[in-house]
Amino acid sequence: MIKKLQQKYIINKPLSQKELLSVYGENFNPLLANLLFVRGIKEKEDIEHFLDPKWDYIHDPFLFNDMQKAVKRIFKAIQENQNILIFSDYDTDGIPGGAILYNFFEKIGYQNFRNYIPDRNKDGYGLTEKQAQKIKQGTIFFKKDIKRVLKKHKDSKQFFKPDLVITVDCGITDVASAKLLKKAKIDLIITDHHIPQTLPDAFAIINPKVKTEKYPDKNLAGAGVAFKLVSACLQHLEKNNFKIGKKKFEPIPNGWEKWLLDLLSISTVCDMVPLIGENRVFVKYGQLVLAKTQRTGLGEIIAKARLHKNKITADDLGFAIGPRINAASRLENPFISFWALAGKKEVALENAKKLEKLNNSRKYQTAKIMKEVWKKLEKRNDQKVIVIGNKTWPLGILGLIAGKIADKKKLPVFVWSEADTETNGILKGSCRSGNDYSVFSLMSETEDQFLGFGGHKKAGGFSLLEENIHTLEQILEENIDKIEKLDPEKKVIDSTLTLDDINFQNYTEIEKLEPYGMANQRPLFLFKDIIIQNVKKFGKSQEHLELSFFDSRGFTKNAICFYFKDFFPQEVLENKIKEQEKINLVGSIENNKWNGNNFLRIKIEDIL
């Protein structure tokens, strides 16, 4: 059992009394000290910044190399009444990021701008050459492709030919598109946070991950970079007494940009950037703004998710609000999410209600497909790779399906569906690793089977001819032995606790680490050799699990796992989950609020 623990986890040893005193002093809570130490937070200034993030810790946006250039170009466009196009990604980073810029231009009273979000399934990710060509023609808002722009199209409300394009959460890899726009004399400002290879020839690039970039915080989300651009524009306005050239602007209250932090906090958590540095400040303050949000649509989303408005956690953002925003691009139109966040009262409310329906549809379709998946996989044994699909499955949820199968089966999984009704004979799909093999390396080894593919070690996407799908699984299984295994990723167990340690005094100290996210995961604890007293299965299909234990004083402590049958391997289901069984349990401590009462319980991560 210890061997299994060591294979899957890094178990941290507690600080000695001497280490505790030398690093944190005598008045520091030992449990909190250990949790901070594990996260590398040891210096006095770092401890203060982490436990009490202040707005003063935010960096000047003009530290970005191209920020001054970008701001001047935006105000030149405003002075000359030029057309501005905001081109943002379709996910929970790009959509709020686009809304942040929308709110800024709306606030200063500029009308000659429009937001565009590509279709996840038809257009794909980023500022593609096809999209750039349509921008050049002024037909980006036309539903059908137009090869030649006629005069009647120019008279259409859909016609919009920009002088300036600002990207959000995309653009840094779109070298050919940048070249096309430059040739068309359309200036391009790229705001992005992805890692570049060859830099596009853009008018300005604002991206903390550019090698020569001097901006100190490299971990911003795409919406975080857009927020920095807005902050710089506001500084520029204030510095010039809200007058640029001959154009006068209504004064904007100092600190108005903080009202945008409700959107930024959603992006920062959902895009899974490290919740340290500026991101920690953004989310901390964003939680305060969410409690007072003036956005009708977002308020409706929060209400439909049955969240406590005054205490929105990072988990709420990631697991309740984020999936609802993503549902629009997965199943229908990303603008539904955009207008739910950025629209006026009636428009925002209408779109927020649509989002709830789409999210319910996503959950229903995912559950329905998973039943079909498990039934098909019952007949398959001894596989190295799983390839599964159906032409009727929605493209937008294939990644969710692949992730669920990979988590359960611990194998690389490739899930496919029909690309669209207009491209007969072409399939598209998503893949997830599930174990110690890189799906990108596996696709590279099998590249002759694909029309195209991309991604990284743990996840990716692909397209292929329908005729190749019948042999794809066999070929992938043959090739998996040709690629090197990745070093197994081990999760960190922050500390070993007893059931007696589950109390509100300790919970209060643990919660000082909030908000949780990347680089600051919710603390995991190991509870060794505890005996199950009671096993309770509940839910419509008995799909959830509650285990009960006694602490040393005879008080009952509970542990819970939702959808446990999809979570644990068969060995655990058959041999470990039974009364009087002694187990090692890995989990986090959470506060279950029910009917005005608070109950601490363990959220189960693993049973060994």
**Comma-separated ranges of CATH 3.90.1640.30 domains in the chain:** 61-258
Mean pLDDT of 225-236: 98
Question: Mind listing the pLDDT tens digit for each residue in 588-606?
Answer: 999 987 777 889 999 999 9
pLDDT at 156: 60
Mean pLDDT of 270-294: 95
Residue 425 — pLDDT band, cuts 50, 70, 90?
A: confident
Mean pLDDT of 203-217: 97
Residue 245 — pLDDT band, cuts 50, 70, 90?
A: confident
Strands 525-531 and 495-497, by their bridges, are parallel
Helix 278-291 to helix 222-239 angle, to the nearest 10 degrees? 80
Q: What is the 3-state secondary structure (H, E, C) of 38-81?
A: HCCCCCHHHHHHHHCCCHHHCCCHHHCCCHHHHHHHHHHHHHCC
**Comma-separated ranges of CATH 2.40.50.460 domains in the chain:** 2-52+490-607
Which numeric CATH code is attached to 380-482? 3.10.310.30
How many C-beta neighbours within 10 Å does residue 536 have? 12
Indicate left, alpha or beta for 105 from its phi (over 0: left) and psi (-120 to 50: alpha): alpha
pLDDT at 149: 45
Residue in the structure block whose two tokens are 């209400």: 303
Average predicted confidence (pLDDT) for the chain: 92
Question: Mind listing the pLDDT tens digit for each residue in 373-420?
Answer: 999 998 888 899 999 999 999 999 999 999 999 988 889 999 999 877
pLDDT at 310: 87
Question: Mind listing the pLDDT tens digit for each residue in 108-122?
Answer: 999 999 999 999 888
Residue 154 — pLDDT band, cuts 50, 70, 90?
A: low
**Comma-separated ranges of CATH 3.10.310.30 domains in the chain:** 380-482
Question: Mind listing the pLDDT tens digit for each residue in 10-33?
Answer: 888 888 888 888 888 888 899 999
Answer for the pair 38, 12: CB distance below 8 angstroms, yes or no.
Answer: yes
Mean pLDDT of 183-191: 98
Mean pLDDT of 445-458: 90
Q: Is 3.90.1640.30 the CATH number for 61-258?
A: yes
How many C-beta neighbours within 10 Å does residue 21 have? 13
Question: Mind listing the pLDDT tens digit for each residue in 520-554?
Answer: 999 999 999 999 999 999 998 888 999 999 999 99
Question: Mind listing the pLDDT tens digit for each residue in 333-360?
Answer: 999 999 999 999 999 999 999 999 999 9
Mean pLDDT of 554-562: 95
Answer for the pair 442, 457: CB distance below 8 angstroms, yes or no.
Answer: no
Residue 570 or 554, more confident: 554
Kindly report the CATH class assigned to 2-52+490-607: mainly beta
The residue count for the chain? 608
Share of the chain above pLDDT 70, in %: 96
